[in-house]
Chain A
Amino acid sequence: MPFAERSIAPELKLIEDVNFLQPQTSFMKNGIPVFMQKGGSQEIIKFELVFKSGSCHQSKPLQAFTTANLLKSGTKNKTSEQINQLWDFYGVSLQIDAQKDIISVGFVSLTKHLKPALELLLEIITMPVFPEDEMHIFLRNRKQKYLVNKRKVQYIARMHFAELIFGPLHPYGKMLEDDDFVKVVRDDLISFHQAIFYPANAVCFIAGNYPEEIVEIINKTLDNFYWEHQKQQENIIIKPQIPTNPKHYIEKKEALQSAIRVGKLMINRDHPDYHMLSITNTLLGGYFGSRLMRNIRQEKGYTYGINSAIINLLRAAYFFIGSQVGKQVKDKALEEVYNELRRLRQNPAGEHEIIMLRNYLSGSFLRSFDGPFMQSERFKEIFLFSQDYEWFKDYLKTLKNFTSEDIQKTAEKYLHEDQMIELVVG
């Protein structure tokens, strides 16, 4: 082969197809649906139980978070120390994540340690005792972490912005207060556990190299535990409150940088315009080549990074542009943010920019389905939003066919600079 001719770019080949691996499905004997994605080059298994309730369903702040994290801190048969010793001995990475809408409890393990990991996971879910002193230690340590975070402009901006978007009473907008850490009592954990962690509220996702007889193994393990239908939790629907004043500033004299957030409530994934909105958002601030990144980092040097995103919660979605910029340039940076929003609807994108966006998004879509673990994550996403693989196919169709007019129309409708709420901290 001769050496390459560098002045000519290699020919680009488009991504023809993305291979969606539909999961294998089954049910545990207690009715929990199980979705499995097999494969991967390593003998690893990821096992996850998702409970379809989260901090939205709590009766006081930190109740969901503390309950989920304290599952591992003692059961009827084992102390917290014994449980921790076992996880570590088998090299199992326990993953507990309490979000607004869901709570996920699961692990990543070498396949050879599946059985003890499964046994221990079911034990902490079905028979936790929530020792009082463990709870106090946990909350005290978390409070310290929170007090450190409160010194960071980025953290303050994130918390206050959610409050601005949803209102202080909405479960997505309610902010933590220092006192919340001492108000949680053991009964809160017991009652929340009863209300949330029951089979009919759960769904199971498995990925990696699991044994063929995985469902039998789960069922056999279930024999060791009493786990039945408990209390039904009710659904919470509160209307977000739109703030009357769109501009907010929290001063931090000692800060060297200002955290900026500009955004609004947004349509969610089930809306017919959503795919086009998601593509438009990427053009604006969703990748390194985005307009915001080019302008505010690569041309002006005001920041290390700026991005925009749509946050999809189950019951509502919002959009935001976020950055940390030098304090002395915060006004100029904001001006450029609004300029970019205006340009997005007023000036059509050039052909090169459209192709770059389309190709980049095709590649990142392909990347997001790479291997059983990613496939499982993407399936979980559509499952939780009660969607199916058609949703991905629609996205690909939109991606293939969108035009610069589509972007302008979408920006006009959803990303008008006059609709935005602004928060600056620092």
Chain B
Amino acid sequence: MIDFQRYILDNGLKLIVHQDRTTPLVAVNILYDVGARDEHPEHTGFAHLFEHLMFEGSANIPEYDNALQMAGGENNAFTTNDITNYYLTIPKQNIETALWLESDRMLELAFSEEKLNIQKDVVSEEYRQSYLNQPYGDVWALLRSLVYKVHPYQWPTIGKSIDHVKNATLEQVKDFFYQFYRPNNAVMVLTGDIEPNLAFDLVKKWFGDIPAGAKYKRNLPAETVQNADRRLKVERDVPFDEIYMAFPTGKRLDYSFYTTDLLTDILAGGSSARLRENLVKKKKIFSEANAWITGSIDNGFLAVMGKLHKDQSIENAEKAIWEELQNLKNNPVSERELQKVKNKLEASNTFAEAGILSKAMNLAYYELLGDADLLNHQTEKYFAIDAGELQKAANDILNPYKANVLHYRANK
């Protein structure tokens, strides 16, 4: 149970504070409600490029990292298709430095054309390092474009093409900032050794005078219901074949999130899970197999993947996966197996609450979803699900007509 106080500033900034007296540090997490899904299809990769630029100078502070390091702090950030999240930890006595830094860059960015150009190069190298110069580095982009035909989830956060990032202009970047990086589009969380009312006063002092922005109304195209399978075969310079299968699922806030999440745990949550036990060890088709859900805010997907051994055909591997999926549809899971995946979730949810930083990130994310207190009720939602519901979810989702299948072959 994580207790917290909630405050809302006049400019719309939401603040959540959780006091933890056992640490000499404070964690500050600021989540901006903007991700790759909010990008224009011709200017993808912007949210992520922007994450880099947020460190390149603001109205009163030429270098964010310099000032933070001076105060003994450490920080980082990440961008997803849904959100952009900035976080730091700092010795509690220097909390005002953190608020000064974060509020200044929410107020006004001040980076130069030159710094923009350097960060374009840095992001290009990141693109090469993480995607192009990696075996199987394009799998995720291929899978997204197979599942999503109209929704912006079709491109990865790094962007559709590196040219989009390279062509970004200072003007576009500024527009992006004033559209999304406003107090009324952010959730801020403080965790650690700080008294909630003091935290509120300090946040008001530093953030209270930042003007609110125009309310952003998200209006994204929804995918139509898929009614025929889609297949993509590619050949690449990699040593082994891999297979990916993706099935459209609901939204993060739908009840079905929990059932689909449990389904993937039955398939691949732990060494004793079915794909590992049956397809890796007994049938020896794959060297590794996995299943997961994207858990995105808009409609996501459930993915199953396997890395094939040399002596296996990709067709046979696909058949073996279908047999496992069919089994989930035909037969209810046993009480013991269901209890196992629930216990595993209880443990992993508890492990995730062990540090002030992960508590801060989680509180921010659930507050964005509607209520930070959702964090305290995740485990019980999983525990309420029975075998019948799981079987129904399997039948709803794991439908051959809704499959998106990627055969990723090694060139011989």
Give me the interface of A with B, judged by CB distance under 8 Å.
1-4, 6-7, 9-10, 12-13, 15, 19, 39-44, 72, 80-81, 84-85, 87-93, 108-110, 113, 137, 140-141, 144-145, 147-148, 151-153, 254-257, 287-289, 297-304, 324-326, 355-357, 359-360, 362-364, 366-367, 370-371, 373
Contacts and interface: CB of A to CB of B under 8 A. Distances in A.
Nearest to B18: A41
Given A42-B353, A371-B23, A91 B344 contact: yes
A144 B240 CA distance: 8
B135 A148 contact: yes
A300 B104 CA distance: 26
Given A108-B351, A151-B135, A301 B25 contact: no
Interface in B308-350: 309, 336, 339-341, 343-348, 350
Interface stretch (B172-180, B205-213, B393-401): B205-213
Given A85-B340, A90-B343, A140-B287, A40 B22 contact: yes
A3 B208 contact: yes
A87 B22 contact: no
A325 B288 contact: no
B72 A326 contact: no
Interface in B49-93: 59-61, 65-67, 69-74, 89-91, 93
B122 to A, nearest CB: 5
B186 to A, nearest CB: 17
Given A41-B354, A288-B65, A4 B205 contact: yes
Contacts of A10: 94, 96-97, 99-100
A326 to B, nearest CB: 6
B347 A109 contact: yes
A72 B272 CA distance: 12
Given A3-B205, A325-B125, A363-B71, A88 B340 contact: yes
B287 A144 contact: yes
B238 interface: yes
Main secondary structure of the interface of B (DSSP, over half): helix
A357 B270 CA distance: 42
A300 B309 contact: no
B22 A151 contact: no
B277 A84 contact: yes
Contact of A324 (B23, B74, B129): B129
B239 interface: yes
A366 B91 contact: yes
A91 B238 contact: no
Contacts of A15: 72, 91, 93
Contacts of B391: none
A356 B69 CA distance: 6
A289 B272 contact: no
Given A6-B104, A110-B347, A356-B70, A88 B271 contact: yes
A137 B343 CA distance: 28
A277 B136 CA distance: 39
Nearest to A144: B287
Interface stretch (B113-121, B139-147, B292-300): B113-121
Interface residues of B, number: 88
Contact of B204 (A1, A362, A370): A1
A85 B336 CA distance: 10
B272 A84 contact: yes
Contact of A302 (B121, B205, B353): B121
A4 B121 contact: no
Which 4 A/B pairs are nearest by Cβ-Cβ distance?
A363-B72, A301-B121, A91-B347, A84-B272
Contacts of A7: 60
Contacts of B91: 13, 15, 362-363, 366
9 contacts: A1-B201, A6-B100, A81-B281, A145-B287, A145-B288, A148-B239, A357-B69, A360-B69, A367-B25
Contacts of B343: 88-91
Given A89-B336, A144-B307, A297-B122, A356 B355 contact: no
A343 to B, nearest CB: 19
A360 B73 CA distance: 6
Contacts of B208: 3
Given A88-B273, A359-B69, A364-B74, A3 B209 contact: yes
Nearest to A324: B129
Contacts of A371: 22-23, 354-355
A12 B71 contact: yes
Nearest to A149: B135
Interface centre among B20, B132, B345, B351 (most CB of A within 10 A): B351
A93 B125 CA distance: 35
A10 B99 CA distance: 9
Interface centre among B22, B72, B240 (most CB of A within 10 A): B72
Given A42-B353, A87-B272, A257 B129 contact: yes
Contacts of A147: 239-240
Contacts of A113: 347
Given A4-B206, A152-B135, A298 B97 contact: no
B137 to A, nearest CB: 10
B126 interface: yes
Interface string B173-214: 000000000000000000000000000011011101100000
Given A1-B205, A360-B69, A301 B125 contact: yes
Contacts of A370: 23-25, 355-356
Contact of B24 (A109, A145, A366): A366
A250 to B, nearest CB: 15
A326 B128 contact: yes
Contact of A304 (B107, B125, B271): B125
Nearest to B271: A84
A152 B134 contact: yes
Contact of B69 (A3, A141, A288): A288
A92 B340 CA distance: 11
Nearest to A255: B133
Contacts of A40: 22, 354
B135 A257 contact: no
Interface string B263-290: 0000001111100110011001001100
B344 A326 contact: no
B237 interface: yes
B100 A12 contact: no
A256 B132 contact: yes
Interface in B121-176: 121-126, 128-130, 132-136
